[in-house]
Structure 1
Amino acid sequence: MTTATAPDILSAEFARDPYSAYQVMRESHPLIWHEPTSSYVISRYRDVARAFKEPVFTSRNYEWQLEPVHGRTILQMEGREHSTKRNLVASAFRGKDLAEKFVPVIARNSASLIDGFRASGSVDLVADYATKFPINVIVDMLGLPTSDHALFHRWYTAIMAFLANLAGDEEVTQAGLRTKAELEAYLLPIIAERQANPGGNLLSIMCTAEIDGVRMTDQEIKAFCSLLLVAGGETTDKAITSVMRNLVAHPDQLRAVREDHSLIPAAFAETLRLTPPVHMIMRQPAEDVELSGGTVEAGRTVTCLIGAANRDPEQYTDPDTFDIHRPDLDLSRAYTAGANHTAFALGRHFCVGALLARTELEIGIAQLLDAMDDIRFTDGSPPPEHGVFTRAPQSLRLTFTPTA
């Protein structure tokens, strides 16, 4: 369905304010053929949820979208291969392994970064904390040298730029491909060493995990590390920034979370709904599919607008309002494949690192609130968001009173 007045997801106007465009799309243009990205764009909650849940919607799009920069990851896999390879890594991101092995790593990295600015009474939370915290955690979880934190941050930035390069900038593309080669040259010898001498780190777990005689290949382990670097870094980075921005902009809710840290998962879930880190994920149907507004032909790419679906008034009351006590957001399932928001996708390709992200947010936000009192926007008002594929403030300057 092509309409001249439909919003263009690559326009400067859309980048400034996608939320107004999302409303127009949901109401008048629920299915748009977008020529520059050669994809159908969908925006209603029920359509996006179908694209994530129904088996007819495959992840074949990742063959051209992700494979050039990551290699073949579990996101490109379907059926038994997907479930087996996913299960090989999933245990490290939940339960005993997460609690015993990696929670101390998360807490240590967060505290170290906070110690770097807490006495000053001011911080750019993006530059001084959010962009560093998840990457440092991932490097340490993998059991790699802490001296390589900056190197991984550079690789993460280049890969993320590649994935967000909807306009096809050739320099960005080439930088991403160089990064793939550099990361492969770095990791493959370490993977071989861990297979021979495994330890208790995440990389060793992936090197030795086995189900019914099936293990991950060296290339699959390398690809998952690359994917983890971006998926775990970008979402957590932007989520921390947006959670703090949303809370500081709503002092009553900030006060409630400060007084009761058990509300942090609710603040995170509501942020995922209202201002998600990732605004679009693609799928590719294996057969013709009827969606709101028309038919998507088999093999076509579908751009699923998470940011639009999560503000659909047919799904949520007062959807443009931040409310950590929202009754129509199911907190009991907010970090599972059965969530009723779409920020982590849904169904079989639900984000394998969702509980890791929740753990990082719980620890990080709690430590930030414990270290910072009377938090205010340095410039007096919330900073604007930036980005189209992923979105959050580029800077979050806060002034605060250091706690004793």
Structure 2
Amino acid sequence: MTSAPYESTASQASPVPDILSPAFAADPYGAYRIMRESAPLIRHEATNSYLVSRYEDVERIFKDRAGEFTTENYDWQIEPVHGRTILQLSGREHAVRRALVAPAFRGAYLQEKVLPVIERNARELIDAFRHTGEADLVDAFATRLPVLVIADMLGLDRADHDRFHDWYTTVIAFLGNLAGDPEVAAAGQRTRREFAEYMIPIIRQRRNTPGDDLLSALCAAEVDGVRMSDEDIKAFCSLLLAAGGETTDKAIASLFANLLAHPEQFAAVREDRSLVERAFAETLRHSPPVHMIMRRTATEVELSGGTVPAGATVTCLIGSANRDESRYREPDRFDVFRSDLTGTTAFSAAADHLAFALGRHFCVGALLARAEVETGVNQLLDALGELRLADGFTPFEQGVFTRGPRSLPVRFTPVPG
């Protein structure tokens, strides 16, 4: 071991900014480039993990065809705030739990029940500012849409929106607490108690008096004789609120930031709405909402740059892998027309970007995210004419574990409607 923040497993390595440093937070992509080139496997003391930065290694870890990796890291990473979730399960237990929840995020249920909820919420949010000629797309839209959609899907009180938003923000801060701030940790654990006190009585009420909502469907769902317990459902709802809220929030903001920074591509997307899907896929590659996902080694594993011992935590740097020069041409360039990214598979387990992970733990909410983003983007483009950034404002990303613009002030010509 070493007292330095990094110990490269490579024989020679260029200096890399510590992932907990202000320099890294300001420009992680420059640090990622150095890692991929000269230190693709780094032992990071402060997080007690191995940092993996190349596409081929992160893809291999996520797909895990050889059974070399587990999600046991979530026992300490997310259980303190969510309880035991589907992410921690494996084998038949994972397959059954995923089968219980997956139908709500695809197919007929998504199209017939969820899509109208997304469309209504997007329209109501936009109607609140469409005639003003200016708005902060993050505060007025991106942070609100996913939380309202999830609340409506679960049949929860929309008046509690601010509480939901505060809860998921606190949970995401806990998950990204790489420096181990005790106040952030305590706030996350407090949120788990508060959310349980809020949700468990509602879950019990839905079991007795089911409604036409996702929460009632989860209460009644059964696969191979297995049903979800109150605690199972509460943990899933907590995970859905945090993961679905934060990632979709940042995806919408980053997509518009990217397009507004590339006026020709923005004009093309506005003219040809079939490109919205490609713009979202390219945003997930170029500016992923989640930059880091962890796994745990089940056995000793050889990766680019060295060997990881059994029982070690591996931090998969999605933000780096998605800009790997060996996988993408001019990877730092945002390009909705790039030929080395497949838009039609970008929201499935066959995706060739890594923003939703891959393999058996591929994000169950990927199609929900696509529906929210594409609906929101299309409605915004319909309602806001001649959209541009506010004078003097340049979009910039913030965050390390999750990342995206926290503000996006724009000016526009109102479109009658």
TM-score, normalised to structure 1, is: 0.98
2:284 paired with 1:272: yes
Match of 1:371 among 358, 383, 387: 383
1:184-219 CA distance string (max 9 Å, x none): 011111111111121221111111110111111110
1:328-384 CA distance string (max 9 Å, x none): 102221111121100000000000000000000110000011111111111345311
**Is residue 378–residue 399 contact of structure 1 (8 Å, CA) maintained in 2?**
yes
Q: Which residue of 2 aligns with 1:207?
A: 219
Match of 2:47 among 37, 42, 50: 37
Matches within 5 A, 1:350-369: 350-369=362-381
2:31 paired with 1:17: no
**Is residue 39–residue 300 contact of structure 1 (8 Å, CA) maintained in 2?**
yes
- Aligned AA (1:61): N
Q: Which residue of 2 aligns with 1:180?
A: 192
1:168-196 CA distance string (max 9 Å, x none): 11111111111100110111111111111
Matches within 5 A, 1:1-400: 2-3=7-8, 5-54=15-64, 55-400=67-412
SS at match of 1:302: strand
Q: Which residue of 1 aligns with 2:3?
A: none
Q: Distance in 2 between matches of 1:6 and 1:153?
A: 35
1:73-96 CA distance string (max 9 Å, x none): 000000110011011000000000
* Dislocated runs of 4+, deviation >4 Å: none
**Identity percentage of aligned residues:** 62
1:203-258 CA distance string (max 9 Å, x none): 11111110111111110100000000011001100000000111111111111111
Q: Distance in 1 between matches of 2:406 and 2:125?
A: 18
Q: Distance in 2 between matches of 1:295 and 1:94?
A: 39
**Is residue 248–residue 377 contact of structure 1 (8 Å, CA) maintained in 2?**
yes
- Aligned AA (1:124): D
Shift of 1:7: 2.9
- Aligned AA (1:48): V
Q: How many residues align?
A: 404
**Is residue 7–residue 25 contact of structure 1 (8 Å, CA) maintained in 2?**
no
Q: Distance in 1 between matches of 2:278 and 2:393?
A: 23
- Aligned AA (2:127): D
User: Which stretch shifts more, 377-386 or 193-202?
Assistant: 377-386
Q: Distance in 1 between matches of 2:249 and 2:337?
A: 24
1:89-112 CA distance string (max 9 Å, x none): 000000000111111111111111
User: Which stretch shifts more, 1-10 or 200-209?
Assistant: 1-10
**Is residue 29–residue 320 contact of structure 2 (8 Å, CA) maintained in 1?**
yes
**Is residue 47–residue 291 contact of structure 1 (8 Å, CA) maintained in 2?**
yes
Shift of 1:394: 1.2
Instruction: Return 5+ residue gaps in structure 2 as ranges.
Output: 1-5
Q: Distance in 1 between matches of 2:344 and 2:128?
A: 35
TM-score, normalised to structure 2, is: 0.95
Instruction: Return 5+ residue gaps in structure 1 as ranges.
Output: none
Q: Distance in 2 between matches of 1:177 and 1:227?
A: 14
**Is residue 282–residue 336 contact of structure 2 (8 Å, CA) maintained in 1?**
yes
- Aligned AA (1:315): R
**Is residue 6–residue 32 contact of structure 1 (8 Å, CA) maintained in 2?**
no
SS at match of 1:290: strand
Q: Distance in 2 between matches of 1:189 and 1:215?
A: 18
**Is residue 161–residue 172 contact of structure 1 (8 Å, CA) maintained in 2?**
yes
**Is residue 81–residue 188 contact of structure 2 (8 Å, CA) maintained in 1?**
yes
SS at match of 1:344: coil
SS at match of 1:325: coil
**Is residue 393–residue 409 contact of structure 2 (8 Å, CA) maintained in 1?**
no
SS at match of 2:288: coil
